[in-house]
Amino acid sequence: MTVIILTACPEGLRGHLTQWLLEISAGVYVGHINARIRQRLWAKVIEMAGPGRAILVHQQPGEQRLSFLVHEHHWEPVDFDGVTLMRRPTERFIPNPALSGGWSKASKRRRFGRRGTYPPTAGDGEGAKAK
């Protein structure tokens, strides 16, 4: 069994896939095809997809009994000890250069107690008294 899911792809590609697979919903194609036809169809999908996205799921021997191919999709297949999972994209942490270094007043209070003394600083011999 092979499943191909298209998003925002041209009509010509959709028409080409209906020669080999059955369209059960808009952009969802299923059918039984051999590996050679599947590879050629996937190459045609990549060639004709344009700005669209595509996912192909097919049978494969193994624990999961299926495999994924992805084209221009944000989610990517990742292998974890023989099990393929789809990884969602996460925004990368971008440090804010406007943040100042050092300890905040709240963290000092949590660390050294509410009314205790703060740790010694460059000018103090014993530390400043909390106010």
Q: What is the pLDDT along the chain (131 residues), one digit of tens a residue?
A: 999 999 999 999 999 999 999 999 999 999 999 999 999 999 999 999 999 999 999 999 988 999 999 999 888 899 988 899 998 877 664 455 666 666 677 777 777 766 656 566 655 555 555 55
The segment(s) of the chain belonging to CATH 3.30.70.240 are 2-87
Please give the pLDDT value at position 70: 95
Q: Which residues pair with 68 in a beta bridge?
A: 57
Q: Quick check: 67 and 73 in contact, CB under 8 A?
A: no
**Range 2-87 has CATH code 2.40.110.10:** no
Please give the pLDDT value at position 93: 47
List Cβ<8 Å contacts ≥24 apart for 64-72: 69/42, 71/45, 71/46
